[in-house]
Amino acid sequence: MRFFSPPSPVSVEKPAFPSRKPVLISSPHSGRSYPEAFLRATCLSESALRKTEDRLVDWFWDGISAYGATFIKTSVPRVWCDANRSCHELDERMFRPAPAGRLFERTEKVRAGFGVIPRLAAQSVPIYTHCLAVEEIDHRLSLGWFPYHAALERELRALSTQCQTEVVLLDMHSMPPLQIASRCDIVLGDFHGRACHPFIMEEARHFLEKRGYAVRCNTPYAGGYITQHYGRPEQGRHALQIEVNRACYLNMSTYELSKNAESIKRDLRDMVYVLADHMAERKCA
């Protein structure tokens, strides 16, 4: 059996220690390496798979280390392994022979087809017409999940130690245009107040609204696994999920950057600078 083995799937861009700011940016869903072996295993075209990406969200943050922030991304596509899930969010029905001796978290995401190894792509379209070999579980987790979370934990610890302040993790995503009456450009999620101090949510919301964006908080996205798992305000570790409407920066026909992309990139980076300055003022308890 030939497995998909992307080279160095996780990349970390960070400044030298003296200039580091207490902000870590995460982009777990912008990976877009689709090797031929994987494309042959799926019943979907590459263009259909790309609609499941948080398309080009990593582009917002290239070079951000020059301004003191740390940035983590993966080249692994979320349809192959989704780092924004628990490693136990698996649908055992996808595999043959049936997995044994393993913990399964049958969450709402898993039941919907969007576990750590997804069964469905965008618009709930099946990715495969066949079951996967059970060996795929450990293989995909070892490449697509564990390295990403090891990097997140390592960099959060380093920031806390080196900056001697509380730290904030900004988990960056994009969303399809919401089918709601009022305009929505960005959704901020703090797991309903449990993943970060209220001032972080308010600072981000206030900044973005001043720049002209229509912002919603926790609806319909309150924060996924990364936000919920790493957000520990009582330990001086905060997490905020940020979902950007793809129509704000992509041409929705071609899925390439639109003429508005540069302005939203500038605004998001400016927001990070403001949050970093505020975090630097908060000493660890």
**What pLDDT score was predicted for residue 91?**
95
Question: Number of H helices and number of E strands within the chain?
Answer: 8, 11
Over 60: is that where the pLDDT of 28 sits?
Answer: yes
Domain residue spans in the chain?
10-280
pLDDT class for 7, splitting at 50, 70, 90? Answer: low
For residue range 43-68, what is the model confidence (pLDDT) as tens digits? 999 999 999 999 999 999 999 999 99
CA-wise closest residue to 69 among 14, 18, 27: 14
Amino acid, res. 102: R
Q: How far is 275 from 271, CA to CA, in rounded Å?
A: 6
pLDDT at 5: 54
**Bridging pattern class, strands 237-245 and 186-189:** antiparallel
The pLDDT of residue 182: 86
Residue 8 has pLDDT above 80, yes or no: no
The architecture that CATH gives domain 10-280 is 3-Layer(aba) Sandwich (3.40)
* Residue 41, Ramachandran bin (φ over 0: left; ψ between -120 and 50: alpha; else beta): alpha
Bridge partners for 257 per DSSP: 250
149 or 99, which is more confident?
149
How far apart CA 165 and CA 24 sit, in angstroms, is: 13
The secondary element (H helix, E strand) that includes residue 169 is strand 167-175
Q: What is the mean pLDDT of residues 180-185?
A: 88
Using the predicted structure, report yes or no on whether residue 38 has a pLDDT greater than 80: yes
Q: What pairs with residue 96 in β-bridges?
A: 133
Lowest mean pLDDT among 120-124, 192-196, 205-209, 261-265: 120-124
Q: How high does pLDDT run on average in the chain? A: 93
| pLDDT of res. 169 | 99
Q: How far apart are CA 225 and CA 26, in angstroms?
A: 12
220: preceding bond cis by omega (within 30 degrees): yes
Q: Vertex 207, ends 59 and 173: CA angle to 5°?
A: 35
Please say if the pLDDT value at position 224 is more than 60: yes
- Look at 184 and 2; give whichever has higher pLDDT: 184
User: Could you identify the residue written with the tokens 């089918």?
Assistant: 179
- 24 vs 40: CA distance, rounded Å: 36
Give CA–CA dist 236/107, Å, rounded.
28
Least confident window among 135-139, 144-148, 224-228: 135-139
Q: Is the pLDDT of residue 1 over 50?
A: no
Percent of the chain past pLDDT 90, that is, above it, reads 84
Single-letter code of the amino acid located at 26: S
In this predicted model, which residue has the larger pLDDT, 206 or 19? 206
Judged against a pLDDT cut of 50, whether residue 39 lies above it is answered with yes
- Asked if pLDDT for residue 42 goes beyond 60, the answer is yes
- Measure the CA–CA gap between 110 and 92, rounded to whole angstroms: 10
Written as six digits, the tokens of 210 are 């001043």
Please enumerate in sequence order all residues whose Cβ is within 8 A of that of 7, keeping only pairs 6 or more positions apart, or say none. Answer: 75
